[in-house]
Amino acid sequence: METLVVDHPLVAHKLTALRDANTDSPTFRRLADELVTLLAYEATRQVRVTEITVETPVAPAQGVRLAQPYPLVVPILRAGLGMLDGMTRLLPTAEVGFLGMVRNESTLKAETYATRLPEDLSGRQVYVVDPMLATGGTLAAAIEFLLDRGADDVTALCLLAAPEGIAHMDKVLAGIDKPIRLVTAALDERLNDQGYIVPGLGDAGDRLYGVV
Ligand SMILES: O=P(O)(O)OC[C@H]1O[C@H](OP(=O)(O)OP(=O)(O)O)[C@H](O)[C@@H]1O
Ligand SMILES: O=c1cc[nH]c(=O)[nH]1
Ligand SMILES: [Mg+2]
């Protein structure tokens, strides 16, 4: 898996505020939304385009537009919903599919409780959004699901990643001959005994949606 940790002072500034336990839910949602837009700029570097010509008021100009089929954006419910608007703002013609997954907090295994996306993803470029890559169980299962449906190019956007999660993804996805990328705002130190990212930001879903 090709991994990019976005190194930018504005990303670091917003991420620091997001981590702060004193940041309330409305501010957390706004910061997550702003961070996605910054990450999406990097994450869409390989988005497929078609060359076209347009007529300016002066002369023909060569340019590009997004190729069809349009990209599919897949938020992993629930916390991934906090990254959806930022992503579709940058890719307004993208389709959106949904994966509902929850980590069993005792076993740390990911369980899928909802799938609502096209049956056939052959040839599709997919952007998966989920703020947290902790053990990597959730994201690895999500990407395997998308590849099984035929997706041939998958980019995941996360706000935070743990080294253990990236190692797990590399192991599970080894030998897959399709582009798989991760773009994250930070690579943190480690996981704690409860599988939480350290220093992290706590439970992203709870902080987005105000559950305490
Ligand atoms: O890398 P992992 O160890 O699998 O953990 C990461 C997952 O945990 C969080 O979701 P959670 O299961 O808390 O569900 P939620 O979005 O409904 O809060 C997070 O948004 C990821 O989906
Ligand atoms: O640190 C973590 C790990 C998993 N899920 C979260 O929301 N936070
Ligand atoms: Mg959660």
For 147-174, write each residue's pLDDT tens digit. 999 999 999 999 999 999 999 999 999 9
What's the confidence (pLDDT) of residue 140?
98
What's the confidence (pLDDT) of residue 211?
73
Q: ipTM greater than 0.90, yes or no?
A: yes
Q: Which of 112, 138, 166 to mutate to test the pocket of ligand 1 (most atoms within 8 A of CB)?
A: 138
What's the confidence (pLDDT) of residue 210?
85
Find residue 18's DSSP bridge partners. Answer: none
Residues of the chain with pLDDT under 50: none
The 10 Å Cβ neighbour count of residue 114 is 11
Element (H, E) at 30: helix 25-43
Instruction: Please enumerate, by residue number, every residue annotated as part of a binding site for 5-phospho-alpha-D-ribose 1-diphosphate.
Output: 78, 103, 130-138, 203
Which residue of the set 48, 103, 112, 152 is catalytic? 103
Query: Residue 72: which of 29, 123, 37 has the closest Cα?
Result: 123
Contact 166, 1 (CB under 8 A): yes
Q: Which amino acid is at 192?
A: N
Task: Write the CA distances from 38 to 29, 46, 84, 142, 162, integer angstroms.
Answer: 15, 15, 13, 23, 20
Query: What dihedral angle (degrees, nearest 10) is formed by the CA atoms of 127, 90, 68, 148?
Result: 10
Question: Among this protein's residues, is 33 annotated catalytic?
Answer: no
Residue 133 CB–ligand 1 contact under 6 Å: yes
Query: Measured in angstroms, how far is the CA atom of residue 136 from the centroid of ligand 1?
Result: 9
Question: Among this protein's residues, is 103 annotated catalytic?
Answer: yes
| CATH classification code of 2-209 | 3.40.50.2020
Exposed/middle/buried for residue 175 (C-beta within 10 Å: 0-12, 13-18, 19+)? exposed
Query: Residue 95: which of 114, 116, 73 has the closest Cα?
Result: 73
Task: Report the nearest-CA residue for atom 6 of ligand 2.
Answer: 203
Query: Measured in angstroms, how far is the CA atom of residue 132 from the centroid of ligand 1?
Result: 6
Contact 184, 133 (CB under 8 A): yes
What's the confidence (pLDDT) of residue 139?
98
Which residue of the set 85, 152, 170, 206 is catalytic? 206
Concatenated DSSP letters of 60-102: EEEEEEEPSSPPEEEEEETGGGGGHHHHHHHSTT-EE-EEEEE
